[in-house]
Amino acid sequence: MERTKFTLDEERIPRAFYNIAADLREAPPPPLHPGTGQPIGPADLAPLFPMELIKQVVSTEREIEIPDPVRRAYAMYRPSPLFRAHRLEQALDTPAHIYYKYEGVSAPGSHKPNTAIAQAFYAREEGVKRFATETGAGQWGSALAFAGALFGIEVKVYMVRASYDQKPYRRILMETYGAQVVASPSPDTHYGQQLLAQDTGHPGSLGVAISEAIEDTVTHPGTKYSLGSVFDFVLLHQTVIGQEAIEQMAMAGEEPDVIIGCVGGGSNFAGLAFPFIGRQLRGEASYRFIAVEPEAAPSLTKGRYEYDFGDTGQMAPLVKMHTLGHDFVPPPIHAGGLRYHGMAPLISKLVDDGLVEARAVHQTATFEAGVRFARAEGIVPAPESNHAIRAAIDEALAAKAAGQRRTILFNLSGHGHFDLAAYESYLAGSLEDFQYVPSKQSSDSKEMAEVAA
């Protein structure tokens, strides 16, 4: 019987996070203080994050040990399985071999708990009692709510109002884990009150919710801010994915030619790709890497690589990244996790260096890929993951056209159980595609960046 699933024993959960900083020839430019425009130091970040995370950001050690309690919590769903997509290959009639690493096996349903668990553990060790965070579609909020329940930390989630109203199940999931969830903009912060005063029906955005969570953090003693993407330490924690995948591809007896992940803030792509990129940087192997983003929020393919704010309220540090401007509000695509104006600085740098290819796809094409995948492989993917599937299928079809064997590996970052309304729209033929229209904000942001730099 040809193998379908490559599983690793609990013992094989990685013992260290892989820190790509150790292998980069040149570090990305430093983050700048949002007020002063000066390079930011540990003291500036201390009000927001546990000290251990700040240390991780400045570390250049290749391996950062994973504490035992974190590995024990990972054991609830890690090592995650690697699958060979035999049925999808047959359906595509392609000579390509397609593999996917499936992160939807975590209880909250995505790769997000990989960092939520680590952040909650370090926070508890430092006496933190409460987290404030933002969430869009809810994947991140439910991951942190889950981790908070495991480590006894209260969690307050600012959930973008549009999602809060449209996705009650995600909210209930967070509440079931014991988190407190409010629609953002909320009356619980000054920034939220200001926005509500202007527009009582403000639909919110990720940028706004980040600003509220940061304000909550700095105004509540014992509270730290937690975030689920973009920042270096988040990407670091996600590298457990790629480390396991390297072992599992070895079990399968193959090396991937192409490695694919979807990108919003960049953490699931980084999680799979960084350990492979490390190999390439060390001259041990060579791969193609493809980061797939939505046409509706194409920061890598249409944004500028420059300093910008991570949030709308300009409270988060300025980082050099591919950005559409911090005021850009992405159109309402169903892949809520990819609706972000910026990109992780580490990924931006790798794209700028030419190590990672960027590709943008329209949502209808991603759902076409997702339904094809579901009917072949059984799993109904998250709308975000459908972006990776689209690119994987396109690579497999290109291999077929070229009469080539090609080994494709992609990250199936989560399941779509809370996104079935989007599938209904697709099946009914009523899903819309959105063209990216640059807004005046991107030039504003350039001015601001020039001021900052």
Nearer to a copy of itself, 35 or 168 (CB): 168
Binding stretches for a copy of itself (CB under 8 A): 1-5, 7, 9-10, 68, 71-72, 75-77, 83, 86-87, 105-109, 146, 149-150, 168-169, 172-173, 175-178, 371, 374-380, 417-418, 420-421, 423-424, 427
3-state per-residue secondary structure call for 72-87: HHHCCCCCCCEEECHH
User: Tokens for 188?
Assistant: 């619980």
Minimum Å gap between C-beta 378 and a copy of itself is 4
Q: Which lies closer to a copy of itself via its Cβ, residue 106 or residue 114?
A: 106
List of residues 6+ apart from 148 with CB closer than 8 A: 120, 131, 154, 155, 177, 178, 179
- The residue among 60 and 176 lying less far from a copy of itself, judged by its C-beta, is 176
Q: How far apart are CA 273 and CA 245, in angstroms?
A: 10
Counted residue by residue, the chain has a size of: 453
Are the CB atoms for 416 and 169 separated by under 8 Å?
A: no
In the complex with a copy of itself, the residue whose CB is nearer, 154 or 357, is 154
For residue 236, the minimal CB distance to a copy of itself (Å) is: 21
CB of 228 to a copy of itself, least distance (A): 17
CB of 439 to a copy of itself, least distance (A): 34
Would you say 52 or 175 has its CB closer to a copy of itself? 175
CB of 432 to a copy of itself, least distance (A): 18
- Shortest separation between residue 426's beta carbon and a copy of itself, angstroms: 9
The angle subtended at Cα 410 by Cα 405 and Cα 413, nearest 5°, is 165
- Residue 42: closest CA among 34, 33, 2: 33
> For a copy of itself, which is the closer residue by CB, 108 or 342?
108
What whole-number distance in Å separates Cα of residue 70 and Cα of residue 49? Answer: 18
Give the CA dihedral 418, 422, 423, 429, nearest 10 degrees: 170
Nearer to a copy of itself, 105 or 398 (CB): 105
CA distance linking residue 143 with residue 49, whole number of Å: 18
Least distance between a copy of itself and beta carbon 4 (Å):
4
